[in-house]
Amino acid sequence: MSYREEWLGNFRFVEYEEFKLERPSVLFVALPDTGLVGVISASYMTSKLGLSEVGGVDSPYFPPITVIHKGFSRPPVRIFAGGRVMTVFTEVSLLPDVQAQLITSLLDYARLRGVDYVVSSTGIPAHNRLDLDDLRTFYVTSVGGRDDFVEVGGARMLESGLLIGPSAVLLKEGARRRVKVLILLTESFLEFPDPEAAAKGLIVFSKIFGVKVDVADLIEQAEIIKLRARETMKQAANMMSAMRKDLEYGMPLHM
C-alpha cells in the first residue's frame, strides 16, 4: 500500500494505491446536483465495474466529515479507478463556491493524471418529467458545437439554455484549461432522486466510451435507491436553491 498526497488549490488529493489508467481514459465527476443523477450514476458504475477505491479529496473548506468504509476513514470526496475509468464523487452537498473551487482543482488533477476525457452525466430538469417515458440526453462539450463522437451514443447537442452548478464550472474551466470536458444532461426531476435518468445517462456514456455498464439492476432497484437517497436529495435541494438552480427551467432571452 502506497500513500501520496498533493495540494491542488485548497484541496488535498490523497492516493492510497498506485494506479494507472488505460487509454483513452475517462474521469467521471459527480457532485450532488439535479435529481442526484450524477451521484447515483457514479456510485452505481463504481460498484458495477468493480472499481477500487484509490484515493480521495479533503479540504479545510469541507464540513468536518469523514466517511467510514470497512473500518477505514476516508475523505468526503472519494476516488475510484479501474481499467479506463476513474470516478470522483461525493454525497456531501458542498457550498457553491467550494464546489467551483473543487471542480477547478479536479481539472488540474485530471491534467496531471493525463486523463483524456472528463465527463459529468447529470440531470437537466424537465417541466413534464412525470409524463416523460423516453428520456432524452443532451450534451455540451468544452470544445463546443456538434461532436460526432458523442452523437454515436444517441445524445443530442444542447442548442441553448442555462446550466447552473458543477457542470457549468466544468465546462467553463475545462475550456480555459484545454481539458476535454463532456457534460451529458438527461431529462430528470429537479428535486427528486432520479435513478431512471441516471440509467439513461449511463447507457449513453457506455455507448460513447465503449465501457459496458449494465443498468438492469439500477432500474430494478430504482424505488429503493430513491427512498435511500431522500436525505441526500434534501441537502442537495437546499444547495440548489441557493444557486438558483430553478433558472435552468428558463430560457435565455438572447439565443
Partner 1 sequence: MSDSIDEFFKRLEKKLREIEESIRKDVEKLLSESRSEVMGPTKIKTLGEVVEPLYTMRDMGDRLVIYVDLPYASEGTIDVRFEDNKMIISAELKKALSLNNWSERYKGIEVKQYKTVIDLPFSPNPEKTKIRVKKGVVEVTIFKT
The phi and psi torsions of 48 (rounded to 5 degrees) equal: -65, -40
**C-beta closer to partner 1: residue 19 or 192:** 192
Residue 242 is a binding residue for partner 1 (CB under 8 A): no
Rg for the chain, CA atoms, rounded: 17
Under rule CB under 8 A, residue 234 binds partner 1: yes
Looking at the Cβ atoms of 7 and 72, the one nearer to partner 1 is 72
195-209 and 37-48 helices, crossing angle to 10°: 60
CA 19 to chain centre: 21
CA 171 remoteness from chain centre: 12
Q: CB of 132: closest distance to partner 1 in angstroms? A: 10
Closest CB 246 distance from partner 1, rounded Å: 10
Give how many residues touch partner 1 by CB under 8 A.
19
CA distance 66 to 83: 27
Rounded Cα distance, 207 and 175, in Å: 24
Regarding 233 and contact with partner 1 (CB under 8 A), the answer is yes
Query: Can you say whether the dihedral through the CA atoms of 54, 72, 66, 235 is positive or negative?
Result: positive
Residue of 60, 212, 231, 251 that binds partner 1 (CB under 8 A): 231
Q: Which is nearer to partner 1, 79 or 240 (CB)?
A: 240
Would you say how long the chain is, in residues?
A: 255
For the window 128-157, what string marks contact with partner 1 as x by the rule CB under 8 A?
A: --xx--------------------------
Are 123 and 34 spatial neighbours (Cβ–Cβ below 8 Å)?
Answer: yes
Measured from the CB atom, the residue of 208 and 237 that comes closer to partner 1 is 237
Q: Going residue by residue from 158 to 177, which x/- string records binding to partner 1, judged by CB under 8 A?
A: --------------------
Chain residues in the site for partner 1 (CB under 8 A): 130-131, 189-193, 196, 222-224, 226-228, 230-231, 233-234, 237
